[in-house]
Amino acid sequence: RLANTAIDGVARREADVRADIAKFAGSDLLCYRAGGPSELVGRQSAAWDPVLEWVAATLGIRLVLAEGVMPVRQAPEAMAAVARALEPHRAFALAALHTMTTLTGSALLALAVVARRLSAEEAWAAAHVDEDWQISQWGEDAEAAARRRRRWQEMAAAARLIELGTAP
């Protein structure tokens, strides 16, 4: 299905798909932090800070972090750097990147998978820090768990497409 999407949809709209992925970076999951409890704050930092450090080292940018869900504006230079990082990618890699971005809420995690900085499993775990913390506190909902398993299959397929050599 993902290959068909790349061929039939992304191949003719590469610039639009790049722009959509870059737009996600403006409100990337990794930039929105919990103010507490301390265990959740620690989990977020452990999972997300290394990715942000990699982004800083690789793209030469530091993103603005916020506590809570109030939107923050990222610097235009930062958004331009993310857009430049997407330029070399063509239809198949863009289809995979877009899928991973929408599933995780993070263009940065998707870029880290494509760059082989993170495995798909590591990116998936990082994207679900908050959810996993909630589960540890209150237990798991069967419907939510089934939905998460289905979404993981999509993530794994996107990562497999990258593994097959679609990244530049």
Per residue in 14-47, pLDDT tens?
999 999 999 999 999 999 999 999 999 999 999 9
Position 121 pLDDT exceeds 90? yes
Residue 166 pLDDT: 53
Tokens found for residue 15: 């610039």
- pLDDT band per the 50, 70, 90 thresholds, residue 50: very high
Instruction: Please say if the pLDDT value at position 165 is more than 90.
Output: no
- pLDDT computed for residue 85 by the predictor: 97
pTM: 0.94
The distance of Cα 122 from the centroid of its chain, to the nearest Å, equals 11
**What local confidence, expressed as pLDDT, does residue 20 receive?**
95
Contacts of 131 (CB under 8 A, 6+ apart): 144, 148
Class of residue 162 by CB neighbours under 10 A (exposed 0-12, middle 13-18, buried 19+):
buried
Instruction: Check residue 4 and give its pLDDT.
Output: 84
- What percent of the chain is modeled with pLDDT above 70? 98
CA pair distance 142, 138, nearest whole angstrom: 13
The predicted-structure confidence for 70-116, as pLDDT tens digits, reads as follows: 899 999 999 999 999 999 999 999 999 999 999 999 999 999 999 99
Q: Would you state the pLDDT for residue 6?
A: 85
pLDDT bin (cut points 50, 70, 90) of residue 5 is confident
Contacts of 77-80 spanning 24+ positions with Cβ under 8 A? 78/25, 79/22, 79/25, 79/26
Q: Is the pLDDT reported for residue 157 higher than 60?
A: yes
| pLDDT average, residue stretch 153-158 | 97
Instruction: Tell me: pLDDT of 167 over 70.
Output: no
